């Protein structure tokens, strides 16, 4: 597993925790993400940026996700899917990293296959693909 994939997995865990605890406080999330510092090594700053950037841009991210989620509200999505979509949307739209969008979508699909339901990867792929087409 690549270090960036591991960083995304740790960021997903942090965002899922925040969603479950009903907190979007970036500093609190950064503290939680810090638990992965030793494990991630040089990729920890990437993880931390995904977590804090997603938290800081959450209202705008949720508006975007809602706009592309046909017949779904963000609150109706599973917490895992919601966290994956939020993180991927942050990375596609707000992140200074400039990771290629197809790579971001592929990583989100892999996270969904690993951590969510059988249909989640298709749902996430469809939503992020729409976002990609309209953000060009």
Domain ranges of the chain: 3-134
Residue 120 phi/psi, 5-degree rounding, is -60, -40
- The pLDDT tens digits of the residues spanning 114-136 come to 999 989 999 999 999 999 998 76
**What is the rounded average pLDDT for all residues in the chain?**
88
Residue 110 phi/psi, 5-degree rounding, is -65, -40
Close Cβ partners of 100 (under 8 Å, ≥ 6 residues apart): none
- The pLDDT tens digits of the residues spanning 14-70 come to 899 888 877 666 566 666 677 777 778 888 899 889 998 998 999 999 999 999 988
**Whole-number pLDDT of residue 23:** 65
User: Quick one: CA torsion of 106, 55, 51, 26, rounded to 10 degrees?
Assistant: 180
- The pLDDT tens digits of the residues spanning 57-115 come to 999 999 999 999 888 888 889 999 999 999 999 999 999 888 999 999 999 999 999 99
What is the C-alpha separation between 107 and 86, in angstroms, rounded?
13
Residue in the structure block whose two tokens are 């959450």: 58
Q: In terms of Cα–Cα distance, which of 128, 18, 113, 16 is closest to 65?
A: 128
Tokens read off for 119: 């249909």
The class that CATH gives domain 3-134 is mainly alpha
What is the C-alpha separation between 7 and 71, in angstroms, rounded?
31
């Amino acid at each position: 597993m690549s270090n960036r994939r591991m960083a995304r997995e740790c960021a997903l865990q942090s965002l899922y925790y925040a969603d479950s605890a009903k907190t979007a406080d970036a500093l609190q999330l950064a503290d939680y993400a810090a638990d992965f510092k030793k494990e991630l090594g040089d990729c920890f700053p990437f993880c931390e940026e995904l977590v804090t950037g997603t938290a800081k841009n959450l209202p705008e991210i949720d508006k975007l996700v809602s706009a592309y989620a046909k017949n779904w509200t963000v609150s109706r999505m599973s917490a895992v899917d919601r966290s994956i979509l939020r993180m991927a949307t942050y990375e596609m739209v707000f992140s200074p990293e400039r990771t290629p969008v197809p790579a971001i979508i592929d990583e989100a699909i892999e996270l969904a296959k690993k951590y969510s339901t059988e249909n989640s990867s298709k749902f996430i792929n469809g939503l992020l693909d729409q976002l990609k087409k309209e953000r060009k």
